[in-house]
Structure 1
Amino acid sequence: MPFFQQLHIADTHVYTWQLTETVEQLSAGLTLSEGEEERLTTIHSQKKQREFLAIRHLLQQAQLPTTALYYTPEGKPLFEGQYISITHSQDFVMIALSPRPVGIDIERCTPRILRLAPRFTPWQAPPDMDELTQIQAYTQLWTIKEALYKIANQPSVRFYEDLQIPHFQALAPCQQALITYPEGDKAYKTRSFFWQGYIWSITNDKSLTTNHDN
């Protein structure tokens, strides 16, 4: 299954690709620049190659030139004329495009998150919460924090301390979040979406109202 979904969230556009194709099948539908071809040859993992190609397909879906995408030396994606955030997990690849800084993250729900939770959040699931809901709640927290980290774009930001969801409500689609900067806290609104076995979250500093495109 190729192109999966497009959403408008306020002034942000989100495009999703579900990877089922081989590298050869993905390559067949693309015309890459010389620089993109060279970059692809440096990627040795087939999974990473498929993600690389899916991102270009999504940019084409957005009717944008793939050559406008480039990366900082640290690996942060940049796009000429607007902000971009990229995420992938298992068989999904997503991009978010916005006129303002944006962060997006998708994760598959697995029990491993329960072991990792104390490392990234002070929130604790209530004793009567079943394990599946706990996994979903902690995965949601992780995706929100990852989206915040991307939008912060500061290596000095501490994942546990500076990325906060002070009134977290498990599985609620809308959450208020904070990033603690040296000059003071800044508030952000986040939206989370739940697919079967996956959760993804997006954040910027605007109201996040969703519109679906066919």
Structure 2
Amino acid sequence: MPLYKTITVNPTTKVLIWKIIESYKDLSEGISLTPHCRERVDGMKSDLHQRGFMSVRHLLAEMGYTDFDLYYDELGKPHLRDGKKISITHSYTFSAIIVSNQEVGIDIEMQRPKILKIAQKFTPLEEYRTLANEDALIRKLTMVWGAKESLYKSFAEAGVSFLQNIYVEDFDMESMKTTANVSYKGKNEDYYVWFEEFEGFTGAYALISEKE
């Protein structure tokens, strides 16, 4: 069972990361799915997507949940029936969940040069002109993109723009953390964001800042 990493963010918030090395058949063993999720996974054309989907069910099991404890709202945001907050991600050979008492979001991205071509769609590029080389720029942009994806998942409002509504405070990459804000249609939320880098991937997870 390749549980790759467990991160305890605080006493009520935990991140679990899975490295997907098993076959779909092996990942399906011992896992029961709701009819809705069975239909979803059977309809996936990609074996990698199917394996990612099933690996998330193993992560749920690590936290004491089954697929029957999970449901999705009309926007596709996942929820747990016991009231705890959850966010889910999978990318190529890694998947992850974050479970908390507070609103959360999580994302995993592969570090790829392709991000240079789409950067202007999600962040002002002039913020990163001081970076020493292209590798550093790819690394930084992947972190920012992952942060914004995790914030988008947590905020969960249709129409939110990565460029216009989600702000990630600039950060020193070695610190592996930052703060962020999402503001849209009168709703305004502050977040803490942390990063993990592993095997050419970047993970980002966000936790809402509770208002005093």
Common fold, TM-score beyond 0.5?
A: yes
Structure 2 stretches of 5 or more lacking a match?
none
The residue that corresponds to 1:6 in the other structure is: 6
Aligned positions, number: 207
The residue that corresponds to 1:195 in the other structure is: 198
Percent identity among equivalent residues? 31
Q: What one-letter code is carried by the residue in structure 1 that aligns with 2:7?
A: L
**Which one is further off, 26-35 or 125-134?**
26-35
**Residues 135-214 of structure 1: matches in 2 within 5 Å?**
135-183=138-186, 185-206=188-209
> For the residues of structure 2 that align with 1:119 and 1:39, how far apart are their CA atoms?
30
The residue that corresponds to 1:108 in the other structure is: 110
> For the residues of structure 2 that align with 1:162 and 1:7, how far apart are their CA atoms?
29
More contact order relative to length (CA 8 Å, sep ≥ 6): 1
Q: Retained in 1: the 8 A contact 2:106–2:203?
A: yes
Post-superposition offset of 1:202: 0.8
The residue that corresponds to 1:23 in the other structure is: 24
TM-score normalised by length of structure 2: 0.88
Q: Retained in 2: the 8 A contact 1:136–1:171?
A: no
Post-superposition offset of 1:34: 5.0
1:134-177 per-position Cα deviation (integer Å, ceiling 9, x unaligned): 11000000011111111111113211011002434345311121
TM-score normalised by length of structure 1: 0.87
> For the residues of structure 1 that align with 2:187 and 2:78, how far apart are their CA atoms?
26
Q: Supply the RMSD in Å over aligned alpha carbons.
A: 2.0
Q: Secondary structure at the match of 1:111?
A: coil
1:27-86 per-position Cα deviation (integer Å, ceiling 9, x unaligned): 124244555444432333222211121111111111112211122243222221211101
Q: Secondary structure at the match of 1:201?
A: strand
Q: Secondary structure at the match of 1:9?
A: strand
